[in-house]
Amino acid sequence: GAGVSQSPSNKVTEKGKDVELRCDPISGHTALYWYRQRLGQGLEFLIYFQGNSAPDKSGLPSDRFSAERTGESVSTLTIQRTQQEDSAVYLCASSLLGGTVGNTIYFGEGSWLTVV
């Protein structure tokens, strides 16, 4: 499909294990975003990639979280030593340009992470 693709769609992991979540943005989109959505809460900004600029990592909640992006394509969000409070839906989004004005941000369906 032509939308933002995320995998896995569901992941159950044991506390303390590492997990990797993958995002394939829409082809040609220079901007890529990761958000976290906990049950009953709004989306929380995690990280933003724009072209070759240094990413804005200001939303990452701890040093257990990291993300990489290969050029203007695939991105991977890694959570090390998972904790139960990491359980959430992790949403990836991409857009042609950065920002909100005159620009549409397209979200993937998310990766539902459950830490047991």
Residues near other proteins, by CB under 8 A? 4, 31, 33, 35, 40-45, 48, 50, 56, 58-59, 91, 93, 98-101, 104-110
Structure tokens at 108: 């993937």
CB closer to other proteins out of 59 and 80: 59
Whether 84 and 60 have beta carbons less than 8 Å apart is answered as no
CB of 15 to other proteins, least distance (A): 25
Which segments of the chain are extended strands (E)? 5-7, 10-13, 19-24, 31-37, 43-50, 65-69, 75-79, 88-95, 106-107, 111-115
CB closer to other proteins out of 18 and 85: 85
CB of 98 to other proteins, least distance (A): 5
CB of 91 to other proteins, least distance (A): 5
CB of 70 to other proteins, least distance (A): 20
Q: In this structure, how many other beta carbons lie within 10 angstroms of the beta carbon of residue 71?
A: 8
Whether 36 and 27 have beta carbons less than 8 Å apart is answered as no
CB closer to other proteins out of 79 and 91: 91
